[in-house]
C-alpha cells in the first residue's frame, strides 16, 4: 500500500490482561466440533448447494465423525426449511448427531425455526445479534448498547417460551454476539450474561456461548486474550460451553482457534477446508490434523482425505489449493534435492527401525505426519524439476519403477534428467523419468549391440566361463569369443580379443526389478575408460546374465 492509503488505518486496541495464562497452556484434548459447512459455508458459495448435494455433504460430515452439524438457516428460505424437514422426516440424522439451526433474534424467524426442527430428536437453536460498535453505528443506525442488549434478551425470552412447543426434541441453546471480535469486551459480556440469565443453564444442561471472530481484525494472541477474558468473567462458566468461530481474514483462522483453545474454549465451529464468507471460516481439517500430529485423538476421521476433498470440490464447486495444509496436491511433495534426500533417508531408516521397534514415534524430515495416515501416498512425495537435486530421481526410479540404482550412479543419471527438465522448463512425471532413464542409460545398442551369446561353464577348470557372442559394431556383424571367471568377465575378454581394449569394469550390481508386470532383472555395470572417464550403464532383461551383458554394452556405448 502507498503511505497515503495506509494512513487511514488504525492499530487494533490490545486487551489489558497482564496475568493472561493461555501462553503457558498446551492443547491436550479435542474440543467439541461443530461443522458449519451447510450454513456459513453454503451461504458463501457463488452457487449454493442443491438439496441433494447438501444431503450428500451431510452424510459425509456424519461419516467423518461430526456430532454437531449446523444445517442452515431454515427461516431464511424455503430450500433451507425443506432441507431441514427432509433430514428429519426421512430419518437421516444419526442418533448421536445433533443438528444446529441458525436464526437472527427476530420473532417471526424464531417461530419459523421452531416449526423447522419439530420432530428432530435433538437440536441446537443458535440465535445471534450483532454487537460491535461498528455494526451498532452503521448497520443499526446508531443503536445504543441497551437497544442491542435488549434485542438479545427478547430473542432469548422468545426462544425459551418456544422450547415447550417441540416437546419431543431435546434442545440445546446457543447464543452468539455476532461481530464479537470487534465488540468491547465488557459489552459482549453484558449481552452474553443477559442471555445466560434468561436461559438459566446448569452444569447438567449447558448452553453454548459462541464468540465469533466474525471478521478477523487483529492478531491471534489478541483473540486468545479476548477468549480468556470472557471465560474468566462469564456468569455460570461451569454451565457453559464456550465456542470459537473464527474466520480467516488475516489468514490466521487456525492460529486464532488454537490459541483460543489454549485460552479456555471448549468447542470449535468451522468448515472443511475453510470454506466460508470472504477468506473463509476456520478449516477444521487443519486444526484436527494438527492435533493428531501431536498425538491427540479428535473423533474426526480424515483417513481418506482425497475422498473428502473430491466430494467437497464436487458439491461446493470450490477448489482446494495446491499448498493447502494436508489436503493440497503439493503438500507432501518435495522438489528440492536436499529435502528429497533427507526424506528418502528418513523413510528408509524408519522402514529398517520399525522391524525392531513397532511403536517407533513418527520422525521423518519435512513430513509432519505420515501421508498414508490420511490416505495420501509416498509416491507423490518426490517430484522432479530443474531445481531438484540428484537423490529424487533415484527415489522415483526406486519407489515407482523398482530400479535400485547404485549410489555412485545417482549423480550421472540425475544430471542428465535434470537437464531434460530444464530444457522442457517444467516438472517431469514419474513415467517421463522412467522413459528418460531407459532412453539414456539402459539397453543402449549403438555403436555396439549384442545379438546373441552362448556361455559355457567349465567344470574342469572350475569357475571358468567361455563366452561366444554375435555383436554388431558400427553396423558390422562380428563373432567374438573370450574366457573369464564369470559371464561379464568372459564377455569383457571377448571384447578385448576383438580390439575393444580401452576400458575396464570397475563395479557391478544387479537385482530383480520390483513391482513390474514382467519378471525382469536389472544390472548395473560401471566401466572406466583409459582416459579416466567413469560411467555406469544399466541392462534390463528377463535373464540376469543378459541384463549384466547389456549393462556392460550400454556403459561401453556411453563412453563413445
Ligand atoms: O461469523 C459469524 O459471526 C457468524 C455468526 C452468525 C456466528 O457466522
Ligand atoms: Zn461465520
Angle formed at CA 546 by CA 457 and CA 400, multiple of 5 degrees: 140
Atom 1 of ligand 1: nearest residue by CA position: 214
466 pLDDT higher than 80: yes
Q: Which of 104, 130, 209, 245 to mutate to test the pocket of ligand 1 (most atoms within 8 A of CB)?
A: 245
The alpha carbon of 17 and the centre of ligand 1 are apart by a number of angstroms equal to: 25
Considering the domain architecture, whether residues 378 and 429 belong to the same structural domain is answered as yes
Atom 5 of ligand 1: nearest residue by CA position: 178
pLDDT-derived band at 518 (thresholds 50, 70, 90) equals low
Residue 394, domain member (yes or no) = yes
218 pLDDT higher than 70: yes
Residues 6 or more apart from 246 whose CB is under 8 A from it? 212, 213, 216, 223, 253, 256, 257, 260, 270, 281, 282
pLDDT for res 463: 77
Residue 476, domain member (yes or no) = yes
Residue 120: C-alpha distances to residues 125, 163, 165, 170, 365 (Å) = 12, 13, 12, 8, 49
In terms of DSSP bridges, do strands 448-457 and 465-473 run parallel, antiparallel, or are they unpaired? antiparallel
C-alpha 394/C-alpha 390 separation (Å) is 7
Mean pLDDT of 390-407: 86
Domain that holds residue 204: 28-316
The secondary structure of residue 164, as a DSSP letter, is G
Mean pLDDT of 5-15: 96
pLDDT-derived band at 516 (thresholds 50, 70, 90) equals low
Residues in the chain: 560
Q: Locate all alpha helices (DSSP H) within 371-520, ordered by sequence.
A: 391-401, 410-424, 430-441, 487-497
pLDDT tens digits along 530-543: 999 999 999 999 99
pLDDT tens digits along 334-376: 888 788 888 888 988 999 999 999 999 999 999 999 999 999 9
Domain count, the chain: 3
54 in contact with ligand 1, CB cutoff 6 A: no
The alpha carbon of 192 and the centre of ligand 1 are apart by a number of angstroms equal to: 15
The three cell numbers of residue 17 are 490482561
The alpha carbon of 73 and the centre of ligand 1 are apart by a number of angstroms equal to: 12
Q: CB neighbours (10 Å) of residue 543?
A: 13
C-alpha 533/C-alpha 180 separation (Å) is 72
The alpha carbon of 245 and the centre of ligand 2 are apart by a number of angstroms equal to: 6
214 in contact with ligand 1, CB cutoff 6 A: yes
pLDDT for res 460: 66
Higher-scoring residue by pLDDT: 515, 538: 538
In terms of DSSP bridges, do strands 521-529 and 503-512 run parallel, antiparallel, or are they unpaired? antiparallel
C-alpha 222/C-alpha 14 separation (Å) is 6
The secondary structure of residue 12, as a DSSP letter, is P
Considering the domain architecture, whether residues 505 and 385 belong to the same structural domain is answered as no
pLDDT over 90, % of the chain:
88
Q: Indicate which CATH number applies to the domain containing 177.
A: 3.20.20.70
The alpha carbon of 127 and the centre of ligand 1 are apart by a number of angstroms equal to: 10
pLDDT for res 390: 65
Considering the domain architecture, whether residues 115 and 259 belong to the same structural domain is answered as yes
pLDDT for res 400: 83
Q: Which ligand is nearest to the CA of 128?
A: 1
Structural contact between residues 92 and 58, judged by C-beta atoms closer than 8 angstroms: yes
Q: Residue 142 region, left (φ>0) first, then alpha (ψ -120 to 50), else beta? A: left
Residue 5, domain member (yes or no) = no
Ligand 1: nearest atom to the Cα of 102: 6
Q: Which of 39, 128, 132, 271 to mutate to test the pocket of ligand 1 (most atoms within 8 A of CB)?
A: 128
Mean pLDDT of 138-142: 97
Instruction: Give the H/E segment covering residue 132.
Output: none
Residue 329, domain member (yes or no) = no
pLDDT tens digits along 151-206: 999 999 999 999 999 999 999 999 999 999 999 999 999 999 999 999 999 999 99
Considering the domain architecture, whether residues 71 and 38 belong to the same structural domain is answered as yes
Mean pLDDT score of the chain, rounded to an integer?
Answer: 95
H helix and E strand count, the chain: 18, 14
Domain boundary among 284, 316, 348: 316
Residue 1, domain member (yes or no) = no
pLDDT-derived band at 270 (thresholds 50, 70, 90) equals very high
316 in contact with ligand 1, CB cutoff 6 A: no
Considering the domain architecture, whether residues 237 and 362 belong to the same structural domain is answered as no
Q: CB neighbours (10 Å) of residue 550?
A: 25
Considering the domain architecture, whether residues 280 and 358 belong to the same structural domain is answered as no
pLDDT for res 388: 76
Atom 3 of ligand 1: nearest residue by CA position: 214
Residue 16, domain member (yes or no) = no
Q: Which of 39, 102, 178 to mutate to test the pocket of ligand 1 (most atoms within 8 A of CB)?
A: 178
Residue 259, domain member (yes or no) = yes
The alpha carbon of 279 and the centre of ligand 1 are apart by a number of angstroms equal to: 14
Residue 417: C-alpha distances to residues 57, 429, 498 (Å) = 44, 11, 34
Domain boundary among 439, 462, 491: 439
Q: Indicate which CATH number applies to the domain containing 499.
A: 3.30.160.270
pLDDT tens digits along 365-389: 999 999 999 999 765 677 778 777 6
Mean pLDDT of 136-144: 97
Considering the domain architecture, whether residues 204 and 244 belong to the same structural domain is answered as yes
40 in contact with ligand 1, CB cutoff 6 A: yes
Considering the domain architecture, whether residues 138 and 258 belong to the same structural domain is answered as yes
Q: Which of 34, 36, 40, 181 to mutate to test the pocket of ligand 1 (most atoms within 8 A of CB)?
A: 40
Residue 4, domain member (yes or no) = no
Considering the domain architecture, whether residues 407 and 452 belong to the same structural domain is answered as no
**Residue whose grid cell is 518435495:** 334
pLDDT for res 517: 58
Domain boundary among 439, 468, 497: 439
pLDDT for res 556: 98
Considering the domain architecture, whether residues 418 and 452 belong to the same structural domain is answered as no
pLDDT over 70, % of the chain:
98
Considering the domain architecture, whether residues 270 and 288 belong to the same structural domain is answered as yes
pLDDT-derived band at 74 (thresholds 50, 70, 90) equals very high
Query: Please, how many CA atoms are within 13 Å of residue 542, restricted to the half-sphere of its CB?
Result: 3
pLDDT for res 89: 98
Considering the domain architecture, whether residues 303 and 377 belong to the same structural domain is answered as no
Amino acid at each position: 500500500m502507498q503511505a497515503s492509503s495506509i494512513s487511514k488505518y488504525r492499530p487494533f486496541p490490545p486487551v489489558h490482561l497482564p496475568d493472561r495464562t493461555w501462553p503457558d497452556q498446551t492443547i491436550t484434548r479435542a474440543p467439541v466440533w461443530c461443522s458449519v459447512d451447510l450454513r456459513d459455508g453454503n451461504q458463501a458459495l457463488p452457487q449454493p448447494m442443491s438439496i441433494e448435494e447438501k444431503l450428500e455433504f451431510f452424510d459425509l460430515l456424519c461419516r467423518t465423525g461430526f456430532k454437531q452439524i449446523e444445517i442452515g438457516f431454515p427461516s431464511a428460505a424455503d430450500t433451507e426449511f425443506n432441507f431441514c424437514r427432509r433430514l428429519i422426516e426421512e430419518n437421516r440424522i444419526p442418533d448421536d448427531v445433533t443438528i444446529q439451526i441458525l436464526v437472527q433474534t427476530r420473532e417471526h424467524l424464531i417461530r419459523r425455526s421452531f416449526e423447522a426442527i419439530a420432530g428432530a430428536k435433538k437440536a441446537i437453536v443458535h440465535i445471534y445479534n450483532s454487537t460491535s460498535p461498528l455494526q451498532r453505528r452503521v448497520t443499526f443506525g446508531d443503536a445504543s448498547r441497551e437497544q442491542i442488549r435488549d434485542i438479545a434478551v427478547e430473542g432469548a425470552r422468545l426462544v425459551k417460551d418456544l422450547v415447550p412447543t417441540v416437546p419431543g426434541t431435546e434442545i440445546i441453546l446457543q447464543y452468539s454476539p455476532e461481530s464479537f471480535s470487534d465488540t468491547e469486551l465488557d459489552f459482549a459480556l453484558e449481552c452474553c450474561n443477559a442471555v445466560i440469565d434468561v436461559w438459566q443453564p446448569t452444569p447438567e444442561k449447558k448452553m453454548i456461548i459462541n464468540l465469533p471472530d466474525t471478521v478477523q481484525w487483529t492478531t491471534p494472541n489478541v483473540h486468545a486474550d479476548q477468549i480468556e477474558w470472557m471465560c474468566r468473567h462469564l456468569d455460570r462458566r461451569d454451565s457453559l460451553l464456550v465456542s470459537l468461530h473464527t474466520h480467516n481474514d488475516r489468514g490466521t483462522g487456525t492460529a486464532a482457534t488454537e490459541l483460543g483453545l489454549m485460552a479456555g474454549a471448549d468447542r470449535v465451529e468451522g468448515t472443511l477446508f475453510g470454506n466460508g464468507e470472504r477468506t473463509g471460516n476456520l478449516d477444521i481439517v487443519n486444526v484436527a490434523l494438527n492435533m493428531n500430529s501431536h498425538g491427540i485423538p479428535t473423533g474426526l476421521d480424515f483417513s481418506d482425505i482425497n475422498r473428502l476433498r473430491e466430494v467437497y470440490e464436487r458439491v461446493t464447486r470450490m477448489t482446494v489449493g495446491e499448498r493447502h495444509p494436508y489436503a493440497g496436491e503439493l503438500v507432501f511433495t518435495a522438489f528440492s534435492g536436499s529435502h528429497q534426500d533427507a526424506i528418502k533417508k528418513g523413510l528408509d531408516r524408519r522402514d529398517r527401525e520399525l522391524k525392531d521397534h513397532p511403536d517407533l514415534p513418527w520422525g521423518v524430515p519435512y513430513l509432519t505426519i505420515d501421508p498414508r495416515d490420511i490416505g495420501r501416498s509416498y509416491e507423490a512425495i518426490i517430484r522432479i524439476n530443474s531445481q531438484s537435486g540428484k537423490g529424487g530421481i533415484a527415489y522415483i526410479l526406486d519407489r515407482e519403477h523398482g530400479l535400485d540404482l547404485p549410489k555412485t550412479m545417482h549423480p550421472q543419471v540425475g544430471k542428465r534428467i535434470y537437464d531434460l527438465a530444464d530444457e522442457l522448463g517444467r516438472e517431469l512425471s514419474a513415467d517421463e523419468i522412467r522413459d528418460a532413464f531407459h532412453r539414456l542409460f539402459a539397453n543402449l545398442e549403438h555403436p555396439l549391440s549384442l545379438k546373441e551369446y552362448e556361455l559355457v561353464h567349465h567344470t574342469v577348470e572350475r569357475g571358468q566361463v567361455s563366452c561366444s557372442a554375435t555383436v554388431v559394431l558400427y553396423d558390422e556383424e562380428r563373432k567374438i569369443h573370450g574366457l573369464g571367471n564369470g559371464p561379464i568377465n568372459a564377455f569383457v575378454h571377448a571384447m578385448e580379443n576383438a580390439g575393444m581394449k580401452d576400458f575396464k569394469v570397475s563395479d557391478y550390481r544387479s537385482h530383480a526389478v520390483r513391482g513390474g508386470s514382467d519378471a525382469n532383472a536389472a544390472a548395473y555395470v560401471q566401466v572406466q575408460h583409459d582416459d579416466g572417464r567413469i560411467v555406469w550403464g544399466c541392462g534390463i532383461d528377463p535373464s540376469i546374465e543378459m541384463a549384466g551383458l547389456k549393462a556392460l554394452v550400454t556403459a561401453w556405448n556411453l563412453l563413445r
